[in-house]
Amino acid sequence: MSEPSKVRVLSIDDHPLVREGLAALINDQTDMRIVGQGSTGHEAIKLFRELRPDVALMDVRLPDMSGIDAMITILSEFPEARVIVVTSSEGDVEMQRALEGGAKGYMLKSMPPNEVLQAIRKVHAGKKAIPPEIAAHLANHMSDETLTDREVEILQQVAEGNRNRDIADRLFISEGTVKVHIKHIMEKLGANDRTQAITIAVRRGIIRL
Amino acid sequence: MSEPSKVRVLSIDDHPLVREGLAALINDQTDMRIVGQGSTGHEAIKLFRELRPDVALMDVRLPDMSGIDAMITILSEFPEARVIVVTSSEGDVEMQRALEGGAKGYMLKSMPPNEVLQAIRKVHAGKKAIPPEIAAHLANHMSDETLTDREVEILQQVAEGNRNRDIADRLFISEGTVKVHIKHIMEKLGANDRTQAITIAVRRGIIRL
DNA sequence: ACGCTTTTCAGGGATATCGCCGAATACTGC
DNA sequence: GCAGTATTCGGCGATATCCCTGAAAAGCGT
């Protein structure tokens, strides 16, 4: 026990190359090491239970579920878990959900390696690691203009090219109601028409194509 | 010279973690090694001239230009260059452009490491490395339904939420012309309306939001 | 020079969307 | 209970879009 115990890191990402990169980077450090890797949300939960890592790096996009949902599940079981959410460069909504869901850090895959390592060290030390540009983005763009579940549902239908009449039929509501929802959606997003609503929603990460 | 010369690989990707992963993976092999890394298209071209690698791994999304355009520039100077285009999971158009542009291989970041290595070896041996699912996708979905430059331009305007009238003004054409273009676009993409046209175009990688 | 594609333009009818009005039900939080 | 929000519904007028027809100029390859 004379050796200083290293920070035990769990890495979840569906891209093997990213996992390799993270593993190589982290295992090169004297103060941390990778104790487990996975590529799905269910693996993440299973591995967390088994390994109880000090820090978990969680990709947002996983084959079976959102990494954020996996994180929330883990946090409900281990409220002390320190999770850093990793993303390629998605929209604002992901950040908000991640932070509201209890992420201790938010990290971009385009960040230089030393910043990645610093983020891990900060989070392990009990601090939060949010890149300043992300924090600023959140403060500005995100207020209370979040869409309701129903509105997102409608928006998704719109993106699929359905007419209001068709959307009404599919969701078992009247066409008038669909109109009202779309009106609200456009107001909240600041869109001129339904087409721009889709564009803005995709950019913000509200819907995925 | 008794030692077998290793395959010299150049890796271009704007995500340091992916580069790290690739580097770690490749340098672990006995028959290949990383001779250079870069994160932009211009770096790619510069490094290729200097290093003349046996195989170049080129990410499609780079900060300054498309990796495919960087590849085309390189090929115009070194027609024998063997370039493998690497992507996260983009649309069909990227593949088509990559292969038409002279890529010797196409690779997904989600592929397992051994397949990545196999692809590099195949391409170095002068063969092509196209994942079967990609090849199948190309054969089906892609025939001659490519949009013209003008049509893509119009489509981009549509995505921004501009009305036909506004698009006409911006591009200095009549509204009737805009209509015709949009009609053609929807025909080619098989879309019911302009909104779905956006959705399909983004999925296929024709436009980017 | 001929054919093909692209791009340009126009008019009109059917349909869809946008914007605005008002209104009822239901659930959440205080 | 009561305020606030979400969801539901209807109608109507102005405008936009979709779809059709027909046409013509410019560029490209053969």
Residue corresponding to tokens 């088994």: A50
Q: Please list every residue in chain B whose beta carbon sits closer than 8 Å to the beta carbon of residue A197.
A: 161
Q: Which residues of A are less than 8 Å from B187 in CB distance?
A: none
Interface-testing mutation among B12, B17, B202, with chain A (most A C-beta atoms within 10 A)? B17
Mean pLDDT of chain B: 88
Closest CA to B35 of B5, B66, B67: B5
Query: What is the edge-to-edge ordering of all strands in the sheet holding B83-87?
Result: B32-38, B7-12, B55-59, B83-87, B105-108
Q: Tell me which chain A residues have a C-beta less than 8 angstroms from the C-beta of B112.
A: 16
Q: A157: which residues sit within 8 A by CB, 6+ positions away? A: A166, A167, A170, A171
Nearest nucleotide over every DNA/RNA strand to the A174 CA, judged by C1': D9
Bases along strand C below 7 A from a protein CB: 5-12, 16-23
Q: What percent of chain B has pLDDT over 70?
A: 93
> How is residue B99 written in tokens?
């292969």
Q: Measured CA to C1', what is the nucleotide nearest A153? A: D7
CB-CB under 8 Å, B24 with A159: no
Residues 21-40 of A with CB under 7 A from strand D: none
Report the DSSP pairing between strands B7-12 and A83-87.
Answer: unpaired
pLDDT (tens digit, 9 = 90+) per residue, B27-40? 999 999 999 999 99
- Give helix A16-27 / helix A113-124 axis angle, nearest 10°: 70
Residues B110, A16: C-beta atoms closer than 8 Å: yes
Is B169 exposed, middle or buried (CB count within 10 Å of its CB: 0-12, 13-18, 19+)?
A: middle
Average pLDDT on B104-131 reads 93
Mean pLDDT (whole number) for A123-149 = 78
Task: Assess contact for B22 and B35: CB atoms under 8 A.
Answer: no
How far is Cα A200 from Cα A207, in angstroms, rounded to an integer?
A: 9
Instruction: Give dist(CA A111, CA A114) in Å, integer.
Output: 8
Classify each residue of A21-32 as buried b or exposed e, where b means 16 or more C-beta atoms within 10 Å of its C-beta: bbbbbbeeeeeb
Determine the distance between A30 (CA) and D18 (C1') in angstroms: 65
Q: Which letter does DSSP use for residue A162 in this model?
A: -
Which residues contact residue B79 at a Cβ distance below 8 angstroms, ignoring those fewer than 6 apart?
none
Other Cβ atoms within 10 Å of B113 Cβ, number = 17
Q: CB-based contacts with strand C under 7 Å?
A: A 163-165, 179-180, 182-183, 186, 192-194; B 148-151, 168, 171, 173-177, 179-181, 184, 193
Task: For residue B182, say whether its CB is under 7 Å from any atom of strand D.
Answer: yes
Q: In 10 A of CB B16, how many CB atoms?
A: 20
Report the run of H or E that residue A59 belongs to, with start and end.
strand A55-59
How distant, in Å, are the alpha carbons of A151, A188, B182 from that of A197?
11, 9, 18
What pLDDT, in 10s, does the model give residues B38-81? 999 999 999 999 999 999 999 999 999 989 989 999 999 999 99
* Chain A positions in Cβ-Cβ contact with residue B193 (cut-off 8 Å): 161, 163
- The answer to whether B60 and B98 are in contact (CB under 8 A) is yes
CB contact (8 A) between residue B110 and residue A195: no
pLDDT of residue B7: 96
Question: Distance of alpha carbon B153 from its chain centroid, rounded?
Answer: 19
Q: Tens of pLDDT along A37-62?
A: 999 999 999 999 999 999 999 999 99
pTM score, two decimals? 0.85
Q: Measuring from the CA of residue B178 to each C1' atom, give the nucleotide at the shortest distance.
A: C8
pLDDT tier for residue B3 given thresholds of 50, 70 and 90: low
